[in-house]
Amino acid sequence: MQRLRELGWIEGRTVAIEYRWAQGRTERYDEIAAELVRLNVDVIVTTVPTVAALKHATSVIPIVFALGSDPVGGGLVGSLARPGGNVTGLSTQATDLASKRVELLREVVPQLGTLAILGNIGIPQIVLEMREVEAAAQTFGLQVTRLEIRRAEDIASAFASLKDRAQALYVCIDPLTMINRASINTLALDARLPTMHDFRNIVEAGGLMSYGPNFLDQFRRAADLVDKILRGAKPGDLPVEQADKFELVVNLKTARSLRLTIPESFLLRADEVIE
């Protein structure tokens, strides 16, 4: 919204905005998509999990996603350079960064032997990310335990199924895990599991660390794409942009609660250390 204002699109004066929130419930995506199509909006800004429902509802209204984990692998666009159709946006390169995140976990948990992966398997892009994490873990000689969820009620039982069978946890971020970040962090802390996340928001809420693009920067850049579309550009002609700012964030308070000592050299590399 701030970036749109900078570009001259002021809510209530030069642009009207309709807000919809699915609250992490995938069953609401089709309903919201149909509603926005009925309203005949000029452009829809969203995150990747809803894009499939939106594409099914309309092939005409431009769709801009601010957070796309693997837009090509997930079948949202034909290519990054020429997405085609009515969809474009920004990639978070979640699958590309999976190996780096596992590597960072190994630095903090040097005796790491078994890694748990928590992800919402109802979203194709999350399934792709989980596969990349598994492949990276195997490269490092780690055993993997998958915690598959589809709804909030699955989270506690997923942790219960671990039964001390993991030494760290990689959390794949989507609306479901984002909304339930506090409970996920609490369950991980109770299970004494150091956690890795995609975005700093989860670390600010008590997760151990994150490595990925700047969340706010992604949405600011999405506003630039919206501006071009509102001025006549076709989304299919606008290349999907990749993240260019990555940050490593560590929560030292969580580390102390886990009785985990983070090496000084690691902390010096962090973009932010939360005390």
Distance CA 263, CA 78 (A): 43
Domain edges within the chain: 2-93+214-245, 94-213+247-274
Domain 2-93+214-245 in CATH 3.40.980.10? The answer is no
| CATH code, residues 94-213+247-274 | 3.40.50.2300
State the Rg of the chain over Cα: 19
CB contact at 8 A, 89 and 55: no
172-182 pLDDT tens trace: 988 899 999 99
Q: What angle do CA 32, 80, 20 make, to 5 degrees?
A: 15
CB atoms within 10 A of CB 13: 9
Distance CA 203, CA 63 (A): 29
Q: Which residues pair with 15 in a beta bridge?
A: 11
107-148 pLDDT tens trace: 999 899 999 999 999 888 889 999 999 999 999 999 999 999
215-267 pLDDT tens trace: 889 999 999 999 999 999 999 999 999 887 889 999 999 999 999 999 999 99
- Residue 22 scores a pLDDT above 90: no
CB contact at 8 A, 47 and 94: no
pLDDT at 193: 97
31-60 pLDDT tens trace: 999 999 999 999 999 987 788 899 999 999
pLDDT at 219: 92
Per CATH, 2-93+214-245 and 94-213+247-274 having the same topology is answered yes
Q: How many residues does the chain have?
A: 275
3-state SS, one letter per residue, for the chain:
CHHHHHCCCCECCCECCCCCCCCCCHHHHHHHHHHHHHHCCCCEEECHHHHHHHHHHCCCCCEEEEEECCCCCCCCCCCCCCCCCCEEEEECCHHHHHHHHHHHHHHHCCCCCEEEEEEECCCHHHHHHHHHHHHHHHHCCCEEEEEEECCCHHHHHHHHHHCCCCCEEEECCCHHHHHCHHHHHHHHHHCCCCEEECCHHHHHCCCCEEEEECHHHHHHHHHHHHHHHHCCCCHHHCCCEECCCEEEEEEHHHHHHCCCCCCHHHHHHCCEEEC
Q: Is 15 left (phi over 0), alpha (psi -120 to 50) or beta?
A: beta
Mean pLDDT to the nearest integer, 74-101: 87
pLDDT at 25: 82
In terms of DSSP bridges, do strands 209-213 and 246-251 run parallel, antiparallel, or are they unpaired?
Answer: antiparallel
